[in-house]
Amino acid sequence: MFRYYSTKTLRGFDSYKYRALDTSPLSIYVMHPFWDRTVTLAPLWLAPNMLTFLGFLLAASNFLITCYYDWYFYASSPTHPEVNPIPRWVWFVLLVFHFGSHTLDGIDGKQAKRTKTSSPLGELFDHGVDSLSTVFMPVAIFSAFGRDHVHGGGTVEMHVITWCIFFTFALSHWEKYNTQELYLPWGYDLALLGIALVYLISGVAGIGVWQYNVLPGCSVVSFLTIVVVIANFVLSLPVSLNNIYYKYSPVNQLKYGFWDGMAPLMSVSLLATFSTAWLFCSQNNIAELEPRLFLWHQGVLFSSHLCRVIIAQMTSTKCQLINWMMYPYILLLLCLLLLPTHLVTAQVELNALYLFSTLATIAHLHFGVRVVNEIAESLNVSVFSIRKPSSS
């Protein structure tokens, strides 16, 4: 049977120890006390990975609900009155599902400690589904603001905000790959609570509350985009560089050399470069034709690479420099962007996006299912059960 990882590589999980540092005041004084109480409601027979998976399903449900009601992000746009608005009750459903997903993500590790079932598989499963949730959550929240160029957010703003979230997630695991310790970003819980607040306000006051300018000529979404960019490049990046620089000191030498240490960012950088080129250089303005699928295919490629980075870190192996899925992606984009205009019609470009997104999603799902089972077999643990599988 085909295997993604050799037995030798999987043995690296045997000596792995989870190390994380969370210094966020919001996490320490608010979220963790709340999760400590909430986890006591979970029965001791319930596997931590099941909590992780249920949280993932709630995040995916929000994505699918907004797909159904607002595929093109026009339901909340005053410039598109022909599109039915999202019913107010839906915002409360999104709020409950979002808060439930956040809570389950916060208590799964605590449930593992309660049941004495902590394992590298649990951490990989948790962070792996989180890597895909980085596209679920922003894409769902965009429906609250709408897509227009007056008070909503255009495809450029959506692209920038989504990539800022990708960037923050990638930075955390780049740090962990180099320092062997996960530094949890301060903005994580704050951002998730902010999304919950947007759903609440949208349900109570209606989406019209977002249709105004914060400053002259600056809509809510434009202002939010500026804030997110500043938070990433003024706060997150310097902190990450400082953490890694500290590990370069004579006392704490990095395990890898400089170029090996940069490997986790290579595919991320290529994806950011080529997806942005597709956004701005598309011969048919593909992001305007299919904005949701345009964001989705990036999320799948991002998650595919980050899962491999996480596994490399946990098994103490070198990270693959370029994820294999990037090669057909780059080749596809070079054809779409460089071929003569009469050959790359709107339908051709749309079909290319549909086909690649479908194949990439299937490939990533196959990777995820197979690798989880490979690791479970290697560690002799069950994925969704407390008891260990039979060794027979």
Q: What is the pLDDT of residue 87?
A: 95
Return all residues near 248 (Cβ < 8 A) that are at least 6 apart.
Answer: 254
Q: What is the pLDDT of residue 197?
A: 94
Q: Are 298 and 271 in contact (CB under 8 A)?
A: yes
What Å distances lie between residue 201 and 151, 227, 292, 326, CA to CA?
17, 20, 23, 39
Q: What is the pLDDT of residue 15?
A: 85
Per-residue b or e along 346-355, where b marks 16 or more CB atoms closer than 10 Å to that residue's CB:
eeebeebbee
**How far is it, in rounded angstroms, from Cα 312 to Cα 96?**
35
Q: Are 94 and 62 in contact (CB under 8 A)?
A: yes
Return all residues near 154 (Cβ < 8 A) that are at least 6 apart.
Answer: 147, 148
Q: What is the pLDDT of residue 223?
A: 83
Which portions of the chain are predicted below pLDDT 50?
A: 250-253, 392
- For the chain, give the longest Cα–Cα distance: 70
Q: What is the pLDDT of residue 214?
A: 80
Q: What is the pLDDT of residue 231?
A: 78
**How far is it, in rounded angstroms, from Cα 253 to Cα 12?**
20
Q: Are 157 and 225 in contact (CB under 8 A)?
A: yes
Q: What's this model's pTM, rounded to 2 decimal places?
A: 0.92
- pLDDT, one tens digit per residue, over 43-76 is 999 999 999 999 999 999 999 999 999 999 999 8
Q: What is the pLDDT of residue 251?
A: 45
- pLDDT, one tens digit per residue, over 228-256 is 888 777 777 777 777 776 665 544 445 56
Structural domain boundaries of the chain?
19-379
Q: Are 346 and 209 in contact (CB under 8 A)?
A: no
CA dihedral sign, ordered 131, 132, 135, 141: negative
The β-bridge relationship of strands 218-219 and 213-215 is antiparallel
> Taking each helix axis from N to C terminus, what angle separates 187-205 and 155-179, rounded to the nearest 10 degrees?
150
**Is the backbone of residue 180 left (phi > 0), alpha (psi -120 to 50) or beta?**
left
**How far is it, in rounded angstroms, from Cα 180 to Cα 173?**
9
Q: What is the pLDDT of residue 250?
A: 47
Give the other-Cβ count within 10 Å of 122's Cβ: 22
Q: What is the pLDDT of residue 215?
A: 79
**DSSP sequence for 168-237:** HHHHHHHHHHHHSSEE--THHHHHHHHHHHHHHHHHHH-GGGG-SEEETTEEHHHHHHHHHHHIIIIIIH
**Is the backbone of residue 206 left (phi > 0), alpha (psi -120 to 50) or beta?**
left
Bridge partners of residue 182, in order along the sequence: 20
- Amino acid identity, residue 289? L
Q: What is the pLDDT of residue 333?
A: 97
Which has the closest alpha carbon to 228: 316, 137, 148, 318? 137
For 215, the token pair is 């400053």
For residue 265, give the DSSP letter: G
What Å distances lie between residue 61 and 14, 202, 301, CA to CA?
35, 18, 20
Q: What is the pLDDT of residue 65?
A: 96
What Å distances lie between residue 16 and 12, 19, 231, 261, 288, CA to CA?
7, 10, 32, 19, 45
The β-bridge relationship of strands 213-215 and 182-183 is unpaired
